[in-house]
Structures are given as C-alpha cells and as structure tokens.
C-alpha cells in the first residue's frame, strides 16, 4: 500500500484506511433526546398524549413506502423470523435467485431491539405524562445494494420513532 501511495501521490487527494467495512449511523440531533422530541411535538402542534398515534402514522407511511419500493422492483419485503439470521447471506441468496448483479437486490425486515420514545407517567409531576427514551423492539428494514465499486452495501432503517439509520459499505463483494 505504501509503495502505491508514494508512486501515485500527486494524484491522491486523501486516504481512508481501516478495516474492509465502513459503518455510518445517523439520527436527527433534535430527536435524540426527550427535550428535542417535545420541541418537535410543539412544532407539529401536537400534545404529548398524541405522540403515540402520530408516531404510528409515520411508521405506517414508512412501511407502506418500503413495500411499494419492493413492488416497484418486482419483489417483496423479505421478513426474517430472527434478528440472528445472516442478513448479508440472505440478501445475496435473493440476488442470486433473481439474477441481480447491481442496484437494490433485496429489502429484508426483522424485529430487533431499538432505542425509542414512549409516553409514560411523569416521575416528577403526579398526574402528568412525559416522553421518555427507552429500550424497545421494533421492525427494521434492510435495503441491500450491490455497487460496482463499493461492493455489498446496506441501509438499515428503524421503523419506529426516531427512525435511526445505519449505512454499511462492505468494500468487497
């Protein structure tokens, strides 16, 4: 690698080194804590007691949109029975069965643990409710892609508020 870098130094702007995979995680800074969610609700002109129905509506839209994407690819969302199933192997198997060598090759889904917000009784003010971030379980969607340069890539999207996202670039096929 060092000989390559010294040989082509004039053509190289930067170097990214590390393992063979890159993973990115994304979440809205506003929606990362209860105070931010309260601010979001205020901006949406919603009461705390309306949060659960509002979040469920957003989830329904996400699920319907994801299923529509799968149909547009002449496929379906492949629901997995366990989060322990090797999703990469499942996606590659689907791609092989469908004869796909590039682009979106599969959308997988399974129930996994997540950090989410729930409406709970206030700990400090009796008779009031509040938003709290808690551990939970929700459906996640994995959009798998085969890219000619980046190899197998995925976007993992949590289907429940705050809709955190992870992006994985394999760097190899």
For residue 6, is it within any domain?
A: no
In the numeric block, which tokens belong to residue 126?
């009796």
Domain of 108, in residue numbers: 20-169
3 within domain boundaries: no
Residue 107, strand partner residues: 77, 143
pLDDT at residue 164, as a whole number: 92
Say how many residues make up the chain. 173
Distance CA 55, CA 131 (A): 12
Report which of residues 111 and 10 the model is more confident about. Answer: 111
How many angstroms separate the CA atoms of 154 and 96, rounded? 17
* Residue 105 near residue 94 (C-beta atoms within 8 A): yes
- 134 inside domain: yes
Q: Is the residue at 1 inside a domain?
A: no
- Per the domain annotation, does 2 fall within a domain? no
Whether 74 shows a pLDDT value over 90: the answer reads yes
Assigned domain for 141 exists = yes
Residue 15 within any structural domain of the chain? no
Q: Is 48 inside a domain boundary?
A: yes
Helix, strand, coil content of the chain in percent (nearest 5): 35, 35, 30
Q: Are strands 165-169 and 77-79 parallel, antiparallel or unpaired?
A: unpaired
Total-model pTM: 0.82
CA angle 93, 23, 118 (to 5 degrees): 95
CB atoms within 10 A of CB 36: 17
Distance CA 75, CA 33 (A): 37
How do residues 99-125 score in pLDDT, each as one tens digit? 999 999 999 999 999 999 999 999 899
Q: What's the number of domains the chain is made of?
A: 1
Q: Is the pLDDT assigned to residue 172 strictly greater than 60?
A: no
Which single residue is written with the structure tokens 């007691």?
A: 49
């Amino acid at each position: 690698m060092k000989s390559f870098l010294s040989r082509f130094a004039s053509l190289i702007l930067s170097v990214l080194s590390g393992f063979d995979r890159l993973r990115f995680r994304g979440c809205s800074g506003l929606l990362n804590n209860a105070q931010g969610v309260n601010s979001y609700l205020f901006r949406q002109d919603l009461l705390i007691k309306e949060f659960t129905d509002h979040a469920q509506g957003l989830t329904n839209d996400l699920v319907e949109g994801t299923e529509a994407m799968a149909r547009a690819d002449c496929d379906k969302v492949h629901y997995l029975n366990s989060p322990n199933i090797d999703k990469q192997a499942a996606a590659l198997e689907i791609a092989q069965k469908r004869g796909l060598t590039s682009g979106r090759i599969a959308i997988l889904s399974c129930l996994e643990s997540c950090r989410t917000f729930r409406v709970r009784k206030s700990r400090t003010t009796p008779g009031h409710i509040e938003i709290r971030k808690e551990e939970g379980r929700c459906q996640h969607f994995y959009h798998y892609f085969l890219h000619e340069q980046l190899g197998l890539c995925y976007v993992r999207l949590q289907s429940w508020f705050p809709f955190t996202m992870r992006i994985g670039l394999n760097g190899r096929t």
